[in-house]
Structure 1
Amino acid sequence: LARLLPGLAVLGADERICALTRRLAHGEELLFGAIHVRCLLTPGHTSGHMSYFLWEEDSPDPPALFSGDALSVAGCGWRLEDTAQQMYQSLTDILGSLPPETKVFCGHEHTLSNLEFAQKVEPCNDHVRTKLAWAQEREEEDVPTVPSTLGEELLYNPFLRVEEGPVRQFTGQTAPAQVLEVLCRERAKFQHMSEPPQPQARALLALQWGLLSALRQK
């Protein structure tokens, strides 16, 4: 896009993006017509991950969160960089404090497998059971499961429920960041067991890790 449109402005928080024209700061607000955009730095998946909270003054529509890989329906992105503590702060202190009616638009749709893992973590959670049945119906009908709302996520997303007793019991930890660390590890194991990666996927993952490692060394 930058080559096709030389004057295109590319805004973001990760300086490793070669086409970046302006680095955004956490809490910075942009205005596009009547739409306000608050930039929220949410490291964890990657160190420069930025999420965007949008709202319009005097609008009956609820605000929206474009969460990218930081938060998905019933899950979150894999922790590729940074610490579990930083990821916990991104999910709980930053995203988890937004209005409960906020619509969550994530970058990927892994709702069904996320909810299957959530049921493993909290088998007695009725909200997980109900949402899983709903997602299965949506899957059969080949229709999207996005968006959800933040209020709903707080009821069934284990990565936002790290201080709940059943989630702590599943991980064997009590400190929120440690609970999150175990959840991320167990989610990866669950993914590998339920959906073994194809050779192309393994090669892509290896390439991603190689690039990230090289960038960190620089």
Structure 2
Amino acid sequence: MPVEIEQFICRSDNFGVLVHDPASGETAIVDAPEEKPILDAIERTGWRPTMILTTHHHGDHVEANLALKKRFGLRIVGPKVEAERIPGIDETVVEGDVVRLGNEEIRVIETPGHTAGHVSYHLPKSGVAFTADTLFALGCGRLFECGPAVMQSSLKKLAALPPETIVYCGHEYTLSNARFALTVDPDNEKLRERSKKIEALRNADKPTLPTTIGEELATNPFLRWADPSIRKAIGMDTASDEAVFAEIRARKDNF
């Protein structure tokens, strides 16, 4: 039986997520941006959390760690590289580690780039991945602590997941990402169609997530550095993959 997922907004544009294994009754929180919306989701679902899966150390992802730990006595899991910067951490993880949520295996994928120790969590059995601020719908995270080559390597790992993998990201940035994507991939019909759907969802105040790996491969310019039409649009037909990716990221930074 696949996990059940409750997604909701925290702060202004962070996504909060509860992941529930119905067989065991265990529940994980993926990042803790803000206490009240998380408590509201817990009350709404009736799922008592046993664990926080932290993706990286930024304050808008760990703000409620200590309050939730005090309230529920849960354990906090997070990347070993950033352990000293994650409040209340109990268990550190690295590439290839497996965390259990009842009958579900949660595999750790190191995805640095946005931060030096960022990790993503993949649930192969349920076909779900939590990519936080590495891979966004139609985007990727800003490069605060690493260079383009590091982020590109992380995105390659995520792009290699099965295309049907359902992806939950850390922020509701999709509308802005779509508008930017059209500037570097204007001839992509799938992107144009997706952008219209995104506009409609946001106009109705509905979330644009989750997405899938397959949808991102078809429309996300940060996974499409080899595409000839994108290279032509930005005038880098013969440049290296890394140079093309770096240029796309730089353009988004100034968009």
**Equivalents in 2 of 1:52, 1:167: separation in Å?**
30
Measured at CA, do residues 76 and 22 of structure 1 come closer, stay the same or move farther in structure 2, by a change above 3 Å? same
Task: Tell me which of 223, 240, 247 is aligned to 1:175.
Answer: 240
Q: Is the contact between residue 2 and residue 8 of structure 1 (CA under 8 Å) also seen in structure 2?
A: no
Partner SS for 2:231: helix
- For structure 1, the residue ranges without an aligned partner over 5 or more in a row are 57-61, 191-218
Q: CA RMSD in A?
A: 1.6
1:85 counterpart residue number: 149
Specify the code of the residue in structure 2 equivalent to 1:12: G
Name the structure with the higher helix share.
1
1:49 and 2:49 correspond: no
2:254 counterpart residue number: 189
2:104 counterpart residue number: 35
Q: Is the contact between residue 65 and residue 102 of structure 1 (CA under 8 Å) also seen in structure 2?
A: yes
Counterparts of 1:90-109 in structure 2, within 5 Å, are 90-92=154-156, 94-109=157-172
Q: Is the contact between residue 44 and residue 80 of structure 1 (CA under 8 Å) also seen in structure 2?
A: yes
Partner SS for 1:53: strand
**Equivalents in 2 of 1:163, 1:4: separation in Å?**
43
Partner SS for 1:30: strand
Residues 111-158 of structure 1, C-alpha deviation per residue, up to 9 Å, x if partnerless? 111011111001110011000000011111111110111001001100
Measured at CA, do residues 175 and 22 of structure 1 come closer, stay the same or move farther in structure 2, by a change above 3 Å? same
**Equivalents in 1 of 2:232, 2:68: separation in Å?**
53
Task: Tell me which of 60, 65, 76 is aligned to 2:140.
Answer: 76
Residues 181-215 of structure 1, C-alpha deviation per residue, up to 9 Å, x if partnerless? 1111100111xxxxxxxxxxxxxxxxxxxxxxxxx
Q: Is the contact between residue 66 and residue 87 of structure 2 (CA under 8 Å) also seen in structure 1?
A: no
Partner SS for 1:37: strand
Specify the code of the residue in structure 2 equivalent to 1:132: S
Specify the code of the residue in structure 2 equivalent to 1:168: R
Partner SS for 2:163: coil
**Equivalents in 1 of 2:112, 2:69: separation in Å?**
29
Aligned-residue identity in percent: 37
1:202 counterpart residue number: none
- For structure 2, the residue ranges without an aligned partner over 5 or more in a row are 1-64
TM-score (structure 2 length as normaliser):
0.68
Structure 1 residue 4: deviation in Å? 6.2
**Equivalents in 2 of 1:163, 1:130: separation in Å?**
21
Task: Tell me which of 195, 209, 214 is aligned to 1:151.
Answer: 214
Partner SS for 2:66: coil
**Equivalents in 2 of 1:164, 1:54: separation in Å?**
29
1:8 and 2:74 correspond: yes
Structure 1 residue 25: deviation in Å? 1.0
**Equivalents in 2 of 1:5, 1:110: separation in Å?**
29
**Count of residue correspondences:** 184
Partner SS for 2:106: strand
